[in-house]
Amino acid sequence: MPWGINRRRVVTINDGKPGERSISMACMHCTDAPCAAVCPTSCFYTTADAIVLHDKDTCIGCGYCFYACPFGAPQYPRVGNFGGRGKMDKCTYCAGGPQQDNTSAEYRDYGSNRIAEGKLPLCAEMCSTKALLAGDGDIIAQIYRERVQQRGYGSGAWGWRTAYRIEVRS
């Protein structure tokens, strides 16, 4: 991946104050991805593993996907005037792109295809706190359930009440 490309954003709440929290934001690989719904060139597609990817050769860099995504996952690779920022880039879940697996073209445009190599996405593998997990959804859900039961909702487990300080109606 080229230097300066950030496929995960870190949002800090209460920066430098007591109670500071950081939240890692990336593509959530939505079932009905809003980025795909608004793309005028239909460059977004979903793999058999339910990973939402995009084809940089088809992308025109209009930015509609950035505005449609509730997580701000699609990003321009460069800062500058409109048209000079390049085509969109987003988290690939380390699954490469539309080119054949593990080719030099795929690596150049999308980075390493760790999924084809049988590995976890790099963010999950390198996360020192193990806050980012990857793999079978049922196993991950069970791990998070156990963490919430062990820690409790008030001592660090994030939810709507904690993040937004609002009441949630059931």
Q: Which sign does the torsion angle of CA 46, 33, 91, 124 carry?
A: negative
Q: How far apart are CA 14 and CA 40, in angstroms?
A: 38
Residue 160 lies in a domain: no
Q: Which sign does the torsion angle of CA 37, 43, 44, 48 carry?
A: positive
Per the prediction, the chain carries an average pLDDT of 82
Tally of CA atoms within 13 A in the half-sphere of 76 that contains its CB: 15
Q: Give 142-168 pLDDT, tens digit per residue.
A: 888 888 787 766 545 555 455 555 554
**Predicted pLDDT of residue 161:** 54
Residue 97 lies in a domain: yes
Q: Which positions ≥6 away from 31 have C-beta within 8 Å?
A: 50
Give the residue, 30 or 106, on which the prediction is more confident: 30
Residue 29 lies in a domain: yes
Q: What is the CATH number of the domain that holds 73?
A: 3.30.70.20
| Average of per-residue pLDDT across 32-39 | 94
Put simply, whether the predicted model's pTM sits higher than 0.85 gets the answer no
**Predicted pLDDT of residue 80:** 72
Tell whether the model's pLDDT for residue 68 goes beyond 90: yes
93 touches 121 (CB < 8 A): yes
Lowest average pLDDT, out of 68-77, 90-99, 125-134, 147-156, goes to 147-156
Domain with 56 in it: 9-119
Place of tokens 């976890």: 120
Residue 98 lies in a domain: yes
Q: How many domains does the chain have?
A: 1
Residue 41 lies in a domain: yes
Residue 34 lies in a domain: yes
**Predicted pLDDT of residue 96:** 86
Q: Give 117-135 pLDDT, tens digit per residue.
A: 899 998 888 888 888 888 8
Picking from 25, 41, 12, 47, the residue whose alpha carbon sits closest to that of residue 123 is 25
**Predicted pLDDT of residue 155:** 46
Residue 129 lies in a domain: no
Q: Which positions ≥6 away from 45 have C-beta within 8 Å?
A: 36, 52, 53, 54, 55, 98
